Amino acid sequence: MAASHRLDENAPVFVISVAAELSGMHPQTLRQYDRMGLVSPRRAAGRGRRYSPRDVVRLREVQRLSQEEGINLAGIKRILELQDQVRDLSDQLSAVHAAVEKLAGTDGRVFAADSSGQVSALRRGQRPRRPSSGGALVLWGDRR
């Protein structure tokens, strides 16, 4: 079975001439978009621009919004900023969901409190010790 090689979408691998060809634009247009902050490639050691596959997709989106939708470059920049913000917030939400799932691993616990307010954690199905004072016992657990 042949090994599968997949290019990282964020890897800065394309020089400006290749990125321009892949996106169907002139290299000078890419330089202008970099100056405007529309698409900002990483820099190589010699300060040359290196575009990632994600940058090329973004360049194509800039071209589509400009030519097909008739949106000016300032509007495109704002759209791209909002898309980046949505992606960042989505990543943060995923991290929060993962943290909640990790904490949800404690959902097998039940908490018992006696009349003095002493709280103890129990495992589901485990019975609390009877209070020696004959006081009330309150159980709390997540109902599912």
pLDDT more than 90, % of the chain: 55
Give whole-number Cα distances, 58 to 11, 24, 44, 101, in Å: 14, 12, 20, 33
pTM over 0.85: no
Under 8 Å between Cβ of 65 and 81: no
- Per-residue pLDDT of 60-119, as tens digits, reads 999 999 999 999 999 999 999 999 999 999 999 999 998 888 776 665 667 777 777 777
Domain count, the chain: 2
Token code pair at residue 87 = 């992606």
Q: Is residue 10 part of a domain?
A: no
Instruction: List the structure tokens of 61.
Output: 């989106």
Q: What tokens appear for 21 in the block?
A: 């060809």
d(CA 136, CA 111): 14
For residues 129-139, give the mean pLDDT.
Answer: 60
Both 28 and 53 in a single domain? Answer: yes
Q: What is the DSSP letter of 115?
A: T
**Are 65 and 79 contacting, i.e. CB atoms less than 8 angstroms apart?**
yes
In a domain, 128, yes or no: yes
* 93 and 115 part of one domain: no
In a domain, 4, yes or no: no
Q: Decide which of 121 and 17 is more confident.
A: 17
The residue range of the domain holding 71 is: 16-103
